[in-house]
Structure 1
């Protein structure tokens, strides 16, 4: 598992799973509360809730999607590296 380095968001974990399935995406979440997958190559980036014990803040999701769009090229490079690290 590799940490997203293209950007960070306080209070939220951002990571790639090594050898994960396509299409390219990263995971964002708060431990024991919620996790989403973010498909950052889509226009606009698309979130998918993986699990949510607590409600995922719409404000946080909007910020993640905004940053994903702004850092799309860097995220794709990181995704490719994470898949090569299997």
Structure 2
């Protein structure tokens, strides 16, 4: 009878430990899913930031070209006015 009691106790301990391990596995899996989702969001953000930077650079380039063109026109007009005087 002592052996049966001990086996029953060990079985209960094993069942409890198994449930604890399953709980840890589920928690770990949940954390892995959360981390994966965060990484995906960061990758998406990185792509959006890259695209935003590219657009800002393009806009700055167009602004510089427009400014240079307007300076050129202003100089041409000034030259024409000076010539007519």
> So what's the TM-score if we normalise by structure 1?
0.20
Q: Which structure has greater strand proportion? A: 1
Q: Which structure has greater helix proportion? A: 2
Who wins on radius of gyration, i.e. which is larger?
2
> So what's the TM-score if we normalise by structure 2?
0.20
